[in-house]
């Protein structure tokens, strides 16, 4: 082997691993095929038509009629940061509904933006009651209320029915991070009355990480356009700056990004063409299946996973009433090396399950069944592999019970 051969490393040939953690998950083959299509120039009429199609496809996925429904180039966190940096001015009071790691992430980003942060929290494994949110809104008078819908760190889903009306009555804008639930649980942006909702492809939508769908209400767009300041090199007479303070990020400036996706086609950035193809196909797959059928499939998968884990004698983490349908947390049995089990599952079965963060690190595993992986046989394979790995670690469990319990639950749902 020459020095050049060593430097080139060889062609990528990853293992055919079944990703049954909290995300990312295996991408749908149709999405991978779409990503291999030829690139186009960013202002080709075919390309801008694909952009328009993406906007139309994601409106029903978000449960909205919002005109400004589009993509942010970057992982799901890019859309989170774009939303907050474009909505929140330094000194604004923001109420964060926090029940896990990703509520804390909202606080982290807002701290960097110079917001005045108020928090209403629930212990990990629970959610925040709407009444407590209402009391906090009345107490602090926030400009923005920010929450996560489904927090994979705790496997809990925050109920959002009624939140929008509370915030509108108080004159507050609502931001929702739906990264982990978009395409797997109902997102009803219009019915909920929430203003900005963001997602990601790599979980329930069954795509790769790297493109983040977003929808923005007219009310939120008006607030964002009040801060519009087009960069000097692309200024145009038909785009007028707002009177408010400049949005602190250029890349994540939603005013300029909206103008790029609008008929103005402002040359803000070069769209990530292959990721747009992926996002387009993710939505086509979801809508082709039917959203209600897709949500039911995720419910079946989550219920089956939970039933199988309990049939092994394991204790499931968190509040059953508010568990996400696509991710299940389970306590690692006492005396069992959780990382050794994960390693054995990966090395012997090519199945990945998730570890945990913060106060739950080393205490629970997180098992996901979402998108292309929310399938009966993949849930059963995962449970069978986990049973074998636990037995190999010396854990005494009722052998052969998990798969039948999961199967029965799947059929009953």
> Which residues participate in the annotated binding site for substrate?
366
For helices 376-392 and 402-412, angle between their N-to-C axes, nearest 10 degrees: 160
56 Rama sector, left if φ>0, alpha if ψ -120 to 50, beta otherwise:
alpha
Crossing angle (nearest 10°) for helices 254-261 and 218-225: 120
Tokens of 124: 């990990």
Nearest to 79 by CA among 242, 198, 218: 198
91 — alpha (psi -120 to 50), left (phi > 0) or beta? Answer: left
Residues in the chain: 413
Which residue, among 20, 60, 73, has the nearest Cα to 279 in the 3D structure? Answer: 73
CB 308 within 8 A of CB 405: yes
Feature table: binding site: 366
Q: CA-CA distances (angstroms) from residue 259 to 56, 70, 111, 270?
A: 17, 11, 28, 13
In the chain the first and final C-alpha atoms are separated, in Å, by 57
Choose among 83, 285, 89: nearest CA to 196: 83
């Amino acid at each position: 082997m020459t020095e050049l051969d060593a430097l080139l490393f060889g062609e990528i040939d990853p293992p055919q691993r079944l990703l049954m953690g909290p995300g990312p998950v295996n991408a749908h083959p149709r999405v991978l095929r779409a990503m291999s299509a030829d690139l186009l120039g960013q202002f080709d009429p075919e390309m801008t038509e694909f952009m328009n199609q993406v906007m139309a496809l994601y409106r029903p996925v978000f449960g909205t009629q919002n005109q400004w429904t589009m993509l942010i180039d970057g992982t799901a966190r890019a859309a989170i940061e774009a939303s907050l940096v474009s909505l929140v001015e330094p000194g604004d009071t923001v109420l964060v509904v926090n029940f896990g790691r990703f509520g804390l992430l909202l606080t982290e980003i807002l701290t960097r933006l110079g917001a005045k942060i108020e928090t209403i929290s629930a212990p990990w494994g629970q959610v925040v009651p709407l009444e407590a949110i209402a009391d906090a809104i009345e107490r602090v008078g926030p400009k923005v209320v920010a929450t996560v819908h489904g927090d994979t760190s705790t496997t809990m889903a925050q109920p959002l029915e009624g939140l929008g009306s509370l915030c509108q009555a108080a004159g507050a804008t609502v931001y929702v991070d739906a990264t982990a639930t978009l395409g797997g649980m109902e997102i009803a942006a219009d019915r909920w009355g929430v203003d900005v909702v963001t997602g990601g492809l790599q979980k329930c939508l069954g795509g790769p990480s790297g493109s983040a769908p977003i929808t923005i209400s007219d009310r939120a767009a008006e607030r964002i356009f009040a801060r519009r300041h087009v960069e000097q090199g692309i200024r145009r007479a038909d785009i007028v700056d707002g009177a408010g303070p400049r949005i602190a990020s250029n890349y994540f400036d939603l005013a300029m990004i909206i103008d790029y996706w609008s008929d103005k086609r402002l040359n803000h950035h070069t769209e990530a063409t292959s990721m747009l193809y992926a996002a387009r196909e993710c939505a086509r797959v979801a809508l082709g299946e039917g959203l209600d059928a897709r949500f039911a499939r995720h419910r079946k998968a989550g219920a089956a996973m939970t039933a199988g884990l309990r049939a092994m004698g394991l204790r499931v983490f968190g509040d059953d009433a508010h568990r996400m349908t696509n991710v299940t947390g389970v306590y690692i049995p006492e005396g069992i090396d959780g990382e050794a089990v994960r390693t054995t599952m990966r090395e012997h079965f090519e199945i990945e399950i998730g570890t945990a963060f913060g106060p739950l690190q080393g205490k629970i595993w997180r098992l996901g069944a979402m998108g292309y992986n929310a399938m009966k046989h993949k849930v059963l394979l995962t449970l069978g592999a986990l049973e074998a790995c636990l037995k190999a670690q010396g854990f005494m469990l009722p052998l052969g019970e998990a798969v039948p319990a999961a199967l029965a639950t799947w059929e009953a749902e």
